[in-house]
Amino acid sequence: MSTVAPRRAGVLGSPVRHSLSPVLHNAAYAALGLDGWHYDAHEVDDKALPGFVRTLGDEWVGLSVTMPGKRVALEVAEEATPRAVAVGAANTLSRLPTGGWRADCTDVDGVVGALRAAGGFRPGDGRTAVVLGAGGTAAAAVAGFQELGLVDVHLVVREPARAQATAGAARRAGLDVTVHRWAETDLAALTSTAAVLVNTVPPDAVAPHVDALAAVPCVLDVIYHPWPTPLAEAVTARRSRVATGLDMLLHQAFGQVEQFTGLPAPREVMRDALREATGNILPLPLE
Protein backbone atom coordinates (compact mmCIF):
# COMPACT_ATOMS: atom_id res chain seq x y z
CA MET A 1 0.00 0.00 0.00
CA SER A 2 1.30 3.46 -0.88
CA THR A 3 2.38 5.70 1.99
CA VAL A 4 2.41 8.82 -0.20
CA ALA A 5 0.13 11.49 1.24
CA PRO A 6 -2.80 12.49 -1.00
CA ARG A 7 -2.14 15.60 -3.01
CA ARG A 8 -4.10 17.76 -5.43
CA ALA A 9 -3.24 19.67 -8.58
CA GLY A 10 -5.28 21.07 -11.43
CA VAL A 11 -5.64 23.28 -14.44
CA LEU A 12 -7.23 26.74 -14.26
CA GLY A 13 -8.74 28.45 -17.28
CA SER A 14 -11.87 29.71 -18.99
CA PRO A 15 -13.13 27.85 -20.91
CA VAL A 16 -11.40 24.77 -19.53
CA ARG A 17 -13.73 21.84 -20.20
CA HIS A 18 -11.78 20.90 -23.32
CA SER A 19 -8.44 20.68 -21.49
CA LEU A 20 -6.43 17.51 -21.98
CA SER A 21 -4.11 18.29 -19.07
CA PRO A 22 -6.01 15.99 -16.67
CA VAL A 23 -5.34 13.09 -19.05
CA LEU A 24 -1.61 13.76 -18.98
CA HIS A 25 -1.20 14.43 -15.27
CA ASN A 26 -3.41 11.66 -13.94
CA ALA A 27 -1.68 9.14 -16.21
CA ALA A 28 1.66 10.34 -14.87
CA TYR A 29 0.61 10.12 -11.22
CA ALA A 30 -0.70 6.58 -11.71
CA ALA A 31 2.52 5.49 -13.42
CA LEU A 32 4.59 7.02 -10.62
CA GLY A 33 2.59 5.15 -7.98
CA LEU A 34 1.23 8.33 -6.42
CA ASP A 35 -1.97 6.87 -5.02
CA GLY A 36 -4.36 9.52 -3.79
CA TRP A 37 -2.98 12.21 -6.09
CA HIS A 38 -5.59 13.78 -8.31
CA TYR A 39 -5.60 16.45 -11.00
CA ASP A 40 -8.75 18.08 -12.35
CA ALA A 41 -10.00 21.11 -14.27
CA HIS A 42 -11.42 24.29 -12.73
CA GLU A 43 -13.30 27.03 -14.55
CA VAL A 44 -11.36 30.08 -13.33
CA ASP A 45 -10.80 33.23 -15.36
CA ASP A 46 -8.10 35.85 -14.85
CA LYS A 47 -10.21 37.97 -12.48
CA ALA A 48 -11.07 35.03 -10.23
CA LEU A 49 -7.61 33.43 -10.24
CA PRO A 50 -6.01 35.34 -7.31
CA GLY A 51 -8.94 34.59 -5.02
CA PHE A 52 -9.05 30.94 -6.05
CA VAL A 53 -5.35 30.46 -5.38
CA ARG A 54 -5.66 32.07 -1.93
CA THR A 55 -8.26 29.49 -0.89
CA LEU A 56 -6.10 26.43 -1.64
CA GLY A 57 -4.93 24.29 1.26
CA ASP A 58 -1.55 22.68 1.82
CA GLU A 59 -2.60 19.55 -0.07
CA TRP A 60 -2.33 21.50 -3.32
CA VAL A 61 1.09 21.01 -4.93
CA GLY A 62 0.68 22.65 -8.31
CA LEU A 63 -1.46 24.44 -10.85
CA SER A 64 -1.41 24.54 -14.61
CA VAL A 65 -2.73 27.83 -15.91
CA THR A 66 -4.22 28.31 -19.35
CA MET A 67 -5.88 31.31 -20.93
CA PRO A 68 -6.83 33.90 -19.83
CA GLY A 69 -4.93 33.66 -16.56
CA LYS A 70 -1.26 33.30 -17.50
CA ARG A 71 -0.23 36.90 -16.90
CA VAL A 72 -2.10 37.04 -13.59
CA ALA A 73 -0.46 33.76 -12.52
CA LEU A 74 2.90 35.48 -12.74
CA GLU A 75 1.62 38.31 -10.55
CA VAL A 76 0.31 36.09 -7.73
CA ALA A 77 3.55 34.12 -7.36
CA GLU A 78 6.11 34.88 -4.67
CA GLU A 79 8.93 33.67 -6.94
CA ALA A 80 9.33 33.39 -10.70
CA THR A 81 11.82 31.71 -13.02
CA PRO A 82 13.81 33.90 -15.42
CA ARG A 83 11.96 32.50 -18.41
CA ALA A 84 8.56 33.27 -16.89
CA VAL A 85 9.74 36.83 -16.38
CA ALA A 86 11.07 36.94 -19.94
CA VAL A 87 7.75 35.71 -21.37
CA GLY A 88 5.75 37.93 -19.06
CA ALA A 89 3.40 35.08 -18.21
CA ALA A 90 3.28 31.77 -16.34
CA ASN A 91 1.49 28.53 -17.16
CA THR A 92 2.79 26.76 -14.05
CA LEU A 93 2.49 27.46 -10.34
CA SER A 94 4.26 25.05 -8.00
CA ARG A 95 4.12 25.11 -4.22
CA LEU A 96 7.08 26.52 -2.33
CA PRO A 97 8.23 25.10 1.04
CA THR A 98 7.07 28.38 2.58
CA GLY A 99 3.52 27.76 1.32
CA GLY A 100 3.62 30.32 -1.46
CA TRP A 101 3.91 29.74 -5.18
CA ARG A 102 6.69 29.67 -7.74
CA ALA A 103 5.82 30.69 -11.30
CA ASP A 104 7.34 29.09 -14.37
CA CYS A 105 6.57 28.94 -18.08
CA THR A 106 6.92 25.37 -19.30
CA ASP A 107 5.27 26.51 -22.52
CA VAL A 108 8.84 27.28 -23.55
CA ASP A 109 9.69 23.58 -23.13
CA GLY A 110 6.60 22.81 -25.16
CA VAL A 111 7.80 24.81 -28.15
CA VAL A 112 11.42 23.65 -28.00
CA GLY A 113 10.50 20.02 -27.36
CA ALA A 114 7.90 19.94 -30.13
CA LEU A 115 10.31 21.34 -32.71
CA ARG A 116 13.13 19.02 -31.74
CA ALA A 117 10.94 15.93 -31.52
CA ALA A 118 9.44 16.55 -34.94
CA GLY A 119 12.94 16.15 -36.34
CA GLY A 120 12.62 19.05 -38.70
CA PHE A 121 14.69 21.64 -36.91
CA ARG A 122 18.40 21.67 -37.68
CA PRO A 123 20.48 24.58 -36.35
CA GLY A 124 22.47 24.64 -39.58
CA ASP A 125 19.35 25.61 -41.54
CA GLY A 126 19.66 29.21 -40.43
CA ARG A 127 19.22 31.58 -37.56
CA THR A 128 15.95 33.30 -38.42
CA ALA A 129 12.40 32.51 -37.29
CA VAL A 130 9.02 33.80 -38.42
CA VAL A 131 6.05 33.85 -36.07
CA LEU A 132 2.49 34.45 -37.26
CA GLY A 133 0.56 36.13 -34.44
CA ALA A 134 1.73 37.69 -31.20
CA GLY A 135 -0.32 36.18 -28.38
CA GLY A 136 0.78 34.12 -25.40
CA THR A 137 1.96 31.13 -27.44
CA ALA A 138 4.02 33.41 -29.64
CA ALA A 139 5.69 34.91 -26.55
CA ALA A 140 6.62 31.44 -25.29
CA ALA A 141 7.94 30.54 -28.74
CA VAL A 142 10.30 33.49 -28.97
CA ALA A 143 11.59 32.78 -25.46
CA GLY A 144 12.58 29.30 -26.63
CA PHE A 145 14.24 30.37 -29.85
CA GLN A 146 17.53 31.30 -28.21
CA GLU A 147 17.80 27.74 -26.90
CA LEU A 148 17.51 26.57 -30.51
CA GLY A 149 20.30 28.85 -31.67
CA LEU A 150 18.08 31.37 -33.43
CA VAL A 151 18.97 35.04 -33.27
CA ASP A 152 16.40 36.90 -35.41
CA VAL A 153 12.62 36.76 -35.22
CA HIS A 154 10.01 38.35 -37.45
CA LEU A 155 6.53 38.79 -35.96
CA VAL A 156 3.73 39.05 -38.51
CA VAL A 157 0.55 40.50 -37.02
CA ARG A 158 -2.58 42.28 -38.13
CA GLU A 159 -1.94 45.24 -35.84
CA PRO A 160 1.70 45.91 -34.82
CA ALA A 161 0.66 47.87 -31.73
CA ARG A 162 -0.68 44.64 -30.25
CA ALA A 163 2.67 42.87 -30.61
CA GLN A 164 4.48 44.91 -27.96
CA ALA A 165 4.38 42.22 -25.26
CA THR A 166 5.70 39.48 -27.53
CA ALA A 167 8.32 41.77 -29.07
CA GLY A 168 9.44 42.58 -25.53
CA ALA A 169 9.69 38.87 -24.72
CA ALA A 170 11.88 38.39 -27.79
CA ARG A 171 14.19 41.20 -26.77
CA ARG A 172 14.45 39.90 -23.21
CA ALA A 173 15.49 36.56 -24.72
CA GLY A 174 18.31 38.32 -26.55
CA LEU A 175 16.77 38.18 -30.03
CA ASP A 176 16.65 40.83 -32.70
CA VAL A 177 12.97 41.36 -33.49
CA THR A 178 11.09 42.98 -36.36
CA VAL A 179 7.33 43.45 -36.37
CA HIS A 180 5.45 43.34 -39.70
CA ARG A 181 1.89 44.29 -40.53
CA TRP A 182 0.23 41.24 -42.15
CA ALA A 183 -1.55 43.16 -44.91
CA GLU A 184 1.71 44.79 -46.04
CA THR A 185 3.99 41.74 -45.91
CA ASP A 186 5.20 39.48 -48.71
CA LEU A 187 5.12 36.21 -46.76
CA ALA A 188 6.91 34.26 -49.47
CA ALA A 189 9.85 36.66 -49.41
CA LEU A 190 9.90 36.87 -45.63
CA THR A 191 9.94 33.11 -45.10
CA SER A 192 12.39 32.30 -47.89
CA THR A 193 15.37 32.46 -45.53
CA ALA A 194 13.66 31.28 -42.33
CA ALA A 195 14.76 28.16 -40.48
CA VAL A 196 11.59 27.95 -38.37
CA LEU A 197 7.98 29.05 -38.78
CA VAL A 198 5.55 29.11 -35.86
CA ASN A 199 1.90 29.67 -36.71
CA THR A 200 -0.45 30.74 -33.91
CA VAL A 201 -3.33 32.13 -36.01
CA PRO A 202 -6.48 30.34 -37.26
CA PRO A 203 -6.29 28.09 -40.35
CA ASP A 204 -8.54 30.34 -42.46
CA ALA A 205 -6.07 33.23 -42.16
CA VAL A 206 -3.16 31.05 -43.24
CA ALA A 207 -4.85 29.02 -45.99
CA PRO A 208 -4.16 31.46 -48.88
CA HIS A 209 -0.44 31.43 -48.06
CA VAL A 210 0.31 27.77 -47.29
CA ASP A 211 2.44 27.10 -50.37
CA ALA A 212 4.90 29.81 -49.41
CA LEU A 213 4.84 29.03 -45.71
CA ALA A 214 5.34 25.28 -46.20
CA ALA A 215 8.73 25.94 -47.79
CA VAL A 216 10.23 26.67 -44.35
CA PRO A 217 12.31 23.66 -43.21
CA CYS A 218 10.59 23.32 -39.83
CA VAL A 219 7.00 24.35 -39.10
CA LEU A 220 5.11 24.42 -35.83
CA ASP A 221 1.37 24.83 -36.37
CA VAL A 222 -0.17 25.21 -32.94
CA ILE A 223 -3.67 24.54 -34.29
CA TYR A 224 -4.56 20.84 -34.09
CA HIS A 225 -8.35 20.77 -34.27
CA PRO A 226 -9.66 20.05 -36.79
CA TRP A 227 -6.71 18.12 -38.15
CA PRO A 228 -4.99 18.26 -40.54
CA THR A 229 -4.86 22.00 -41.12
CA PRO A 230 -4.21 23.35 -44.63
CA LEU A 231 -0.71 24.35 -43.54
CA ALA A 232 0.06 20.90 -42.16
CA GLU A 233 -1.17 19.29 -45.38
CA ALA A 234 1.10 21.54 -47.44
CA VAL A 235 4.12 20.79 -45.24
CA THR A 236 3.45 17.05 -45.41
CA ALA A 237 3.12 17.19 -49.19
CA ARG A 238 6.68 18.53 -49.30
CA ARG A 239 7.82 15.59 -47.14
CA SER A 240 8.89 18.08 -44.48
CA ARG A 241 8.28 17.88 -40.76
CA VAL A 242 5.52 19.61 -38.86
CA ALA A 243 5.04 19.94 -35.11
CA THR A 244 1.65 20.71 -33.59
CA GLY A 245 -0.11 22.13 -30.60
CA LEU A 246 -0.59 18.63 -29.22
CA ASP A 247 3.17 18.11 -29.33
CA MET A 248 3.54 21.38 -27.43
CA LEU A 249 0.96 20.34 -24.85
CA LEU A 250 2.75 17.05 -24.25
CA HIS A 251 6.24 18.49 -23.90
CA GLN A 252 5.20 21.35 -21.62
CA ALA A 253 3.47 18.88 -19.29
CA PHE A 254 6.67 16.96 -18.57
CA GLY A 255 8.17 19.86 -16.66
CA GLN A 256 4.94 20.48 -14.76
CA VAL A 257 4.76 16.88 -13.56
CA GLU A 258 8.37 17.02 -12.42
CA GLN A 259 7.89 20.31 -10.59
CA PHE A 260 4.72 19.10 -8.85
CA THR A 261 5.98 15.62 -7.87
CA GLY A 262 9.77 15.94 -7.67
CA LEU A 263 10.01 12.79 -9.82
CA PRO A 264 11.02 12.21 -13.46
CA ALA A 265 8.03 12.45 -15.79
CA PRO A 266 6.98 9.09 -17.31
CA ARG A 267 7.14 10.47 -20.84
CA GLU A 268 6.06 7.43 -22.81
CA VAL A 269 3.09 6.80 -20.51
CA MET A 270 1.96 10.40 -20.86
CA ARG A 271 2.42 10.32 -24.64
CA ASP A 272 0.40 7.12 -24.95
CA ALA A 273 -2.41 8.50 -22.78
CA LEU A 274 -2.63 11.66 -24.89
CA ARG A 275 -2.63 9.68 -28.13
CA GLU A 276 -5.47 7.49 -26.88
CA ALA A 277 -7.50 10.50 -25.68
CA THR A 278 -7.19 12.19 -29.09
CA GLY A 279 -7.97 9.17 -31.26
CA ASN A 280 -4.35 8.62 -32.33
CA ILE A 281 -4.56 11.47 -34.84
CA LEU A 282 -0.89 12.35 -34.32
CA PRO A 283 2.23 10.28 -33.58
CA LEU A 284 3.49 12.65 -30.85
CA PRO A 285 7.19 11.81 -31.13
CA LEU A 286 9.47 12.26 -28.13
CA GLU A 287 12.87 13.90 -28.15
The residue ranges of every structural domain in the chain are 7-106+247-278, 109-244
Q: What pLDDT digit, counting tens, does each position of 112-133 carry?
A: 999 999 876 665 667 899 999 9
Q: What is the pTM of this model?
A: 0.94
Q: Check whether the bond before 82 is cis (ω within 30° of 0).
A: no
- What does CATH list as the number for 109-244? 3.40.50.720
The confidence score (pLDDT) of residue 1 equals 42
Three-state DSSP class for residue 128: strand
The confidence score (pLDDT) of residue 240 equals 82
> Does the fold of domain 109-244 match that of domain 7-106+247-278?
yes
The confidence score (pLDDT) of residue 225 equals 81
Q: Are 237 and 214 in contact (CB under 8 A)?
A: yes
| CATH class of the domain at 7-106+247-278 | alpha beta
**List 70, 172, 180, 267, catalytic entry:** 70
Residues of the chain with pLDDT under 50: 1-2
Active site residue 47: no
